[in-house]
Amino acid sequence: MNPSLTVGIVGATGAVGQELVRLMHERNFPFTTLRLFASARSAGRTIEHSGKKYVVEEAKPGVFAGVDLAFFAAGGSVTRALAGDAVKAGCLVIDKSSALRQESDIPLVIPEINPEKLRAHKGIIANPNCSTAVMLMGLWPLHQLFGVKRVIISTYQSVSGTGAEAVRELDDQVHAYVAKQPLVKKVYPYQIAFNCIPHIDTFDDTGYTGEETKMAMESRKIMGLPGLKVSATTVRVPVVRAHSISVCAEFERPVDVEKARAAVAAFPGAELVDDPANKKYPTPVDFAEKVKCGVGRIRKDTAFENGLSFWVSGDNLWKGAALNAVQNAELMIRENLLKPSAA
């Protein structure tokens, strides 16, 4: 990658923002200047990585002049308030929030699936929901082979998907449990240590949560399948990092397990871990801080005539957020779609 860019990270002090800083350095992203933005209360804080120190600036209108690329990782309200200002300044925005994902003129992109959409942007590219991105690393190669028409999903989502406070809450509750002390609940409505909570985001009048609706709508948009039938149940579990997803999928064409395994093994976003006789299958611990998502437990589904069931584990902070955004930018650079403004 030859161009040297001025890159900004909005929400740089949060969990995803910190992973973006890390990935910028570890993947040798071609930046000459890295500017970190956050709320006014974090302005002036110093973040150090790879021997370099960065002073956090306040994210506000007017700060994007001269910034070629801005990763937004600060939530929907910040995106709605500042993304337009960044675009007006000539900056490409890659946004993690759900604020703009369903806008018809904003591409929602996973580079292994629909990279052609990167050419259609008008200044903003949306990043998918963490559970959607991880799940599709298993479903997409099978769809290409057999043609998916119906999906039933159950997620097992880590607390880091909620944020740093949730990680602390799990840790505090585990320590309190061991010490036989009362468990304090602040982030979640129920105890998360040694428990599962089938409630992520808010419930709507259908009984589904926002997270479940996002998985359905985003899968349709990314895969280009507006009629895809999706039913999801999303669950928070006492895992620190990496989401896991159980998928039952019905296909248009007859399925074959060995062909399915071969398709997953050949897919660039997935690592096949599927040898149940030797107790080999993906787990969130094994796929935290991994570029690829693990796919295993592939078997014929006994409820669908042309169905497969499988299991996916993947890092929600990487493929589910920061890494996918960086991969989109890297691909745009390779395709000569992203250049320094000076060029």
Is 196 one of the catalytic residues?
no
Q: Which residue in this structure is represented by tokens 């299991």?
A: 311
| 132/310 Cα distance (integer angstroms) | 15
Around Cβ 30, how many Cβ atoms within 10 Å? 17
| 58/63 Cα distance (integer angstroms) | 8
Tokens coding 170: 């799990």
Q: Which residue in this structure is represented by tokens 């902070």?
A: 317
Residue of 91, 130, 248, 293 with catalytic role: 130
**Beta strands per DSSP E along 39-87:** 46-49, 52-55, 57-58, 69-72
- φ/ψ of 301, rounded to 5, equals -75, 135
Tokens coding 195: 């428990």
Residue of 91, 121, 243, 248 with catalytic role: 243
Query: What residues contact residue 342 under an 8 Å CB cut-off, 6+ apart?
Result: none
Burial profile 256-271: b = 16 or more Cβ within 10 angstroms, e = fewer: eeeebbebbeebebbb
Query: What residues contact residue 161 under an 8 Å CB cut-off, 6+ apart?
Result: 130, 131, 200, 236, 243, 316, 320
- φ/ψ of 6, rounded to 5, equals -95, 115
Is 130 one of the catalytic residues?
yes
| 91/84 Cα distance (integer angstroms) | 10
Helix spans in 179-322 (H)? 210-223, 257-266, 284-287
- φ/ψ of 121, rounded to 5, equals -75, 160
Q: Which residues are known to be catalytic?
A: 130, 243
